[in-house]
Amino acid sequence: MTTTIAVANQKGGVAKTTTVASLGAALVELDQRVLLVDADPQASLTFSLGVDPEEIDLTIGEVLLGTAKPADAVIGTEDGPDLLPANIRLTQAEESLVSRTGREQRLRVALGKVADDYDFILIDCPPALGVLTVGALSAAQLVLIPLQAETLSHRGVGQLMDTVHDVKQFINSELEILGVLPTMYDGRTRHAQNVLAAIAETYDLPVVQPPIPKTIKFAEAPAIGRSILSTARSHKGSQAYREVAADLVKKHGPRQRARRQRSAE
């Protein structure tokens, strides 16, 4: 029973990639089998995990176009999770998918072929609400929304909510919102606290705890191709992601999903 989570927000710079890489590493520490999916043509996740996007022969782009098998494109990373990488060719693939049959379902079908090998699949979505993001939402059971605790950062949440609603109504009825994950959070400021309160009230969304603190350590980690859990193991940012990961396993791990399915039957 694999749990697939789309990490999405159409606003850039809110730590989507950092969240996918850090949560993936934290879940591996908890003995979970993890696949990270780079669904962004910028390939930031791929680069952050120490893989040169320009040296990859097979990527998620070829998988979505049906010219490569998912298992053949998956590679290992030093932090532990497996990776379905991306590079700039994903832009061409996205353009081609617009006119292809079943474009919204292609990622779901592809991941279904390798899902038995993993407990968690985390998808790093691009900062847009196009074909790739809709495909990720179609493939997922849960949506996690990283959000910088600043006023301008949450202005687009309503648009994302509308997209999630449409995907749930017309494509993926199982899709649920896991919640908003505060990132780059400075709890000393009243502004940050007020933004989180406004989000919870305006959109009726749960706020995932604990908030991820603001620190330069997150920017330093990708430079050596690792997550913060490897470069600053005892840092409070690493510990925050470990706590989020532990809660994911507790509430949405394979045993819990299997138990809920049996109850539903």
Q: What is the mean pLDDT of residues 155-174?
A: 91
Q: How many domains does the chain have?
A: 1
Residue with tokens 């899902």: 115
- Give every CB contact of residue 169 below 8 A, 6+ residues apart in sequence: none
Residue 162 lies in domain: 3-246
Backbone angles phi, psi at 58, to 5 degrees: -120, 135
Residue 150 has pLDDT above 90, yes or no: no
Residue 264 has pLDDT above 70, yes or no: no
Residue 9 lies in a domain: yes
Residue 207 lies in a domain: yes
Q: What is the mean pLDDT of residues 9-22?
A: 92
Task: Please answer whether residues 153 and 147 qualify as being in contact, where contact means their C-beta atoms are separated by less than 8 angstroms.
Answer: yes
pTM for the model? 0.94
Q: What CA–CA distance (Å, rounded) separates 128 from 135?
A: 12
Residue 78 has pLDDT above 80, yes or no: yes
Residue 211 lies in a domain: yes
In the three-class reduction of DSSP (H, G, I as helix; E, B as strand; rest coil), residue 188 is classed as: coil
Q: What is the mean pLDDT of residues 113-133?
A: 96
High-pLDDT (> 70) share of the chain, % = 95
Model pLDDT, residue 263: 66
Model pLDDT, residue 187: 76
- What is the rounded radius of gyration, in angstroms, for the C-alpha atoms of the chain? 17
CATH number of the domain within which 98 lies:
3.40.50.300
Residue 262 lies in a domain: no
Cβ atoms within 10 Å of 127's Cβ, excluding its own:
16
Residue 92 lies in a domain: yes
Residue 56 lies in a domain: yes
Residue 265 lies in a domain: no
Model pLDDT, residue 148: 85
Residue 260 lies in a domain: no
Model pLDDT, residue 146: 93
For 37: left if phi > 0, alpha if psi spans -120 to 50, otherwise beta; the answer is beta
Give residue-wise pLDDT tens across range 19-34. 999 999 999 999 999 9
Whether the link from the prior residue into 210 is cis, omega within 30° of 0, is: yes
Give residue-wise pLDDT tens across range 191-234. 888 887 887 788 888 999 999 998 899 988 888 899 999 988 88
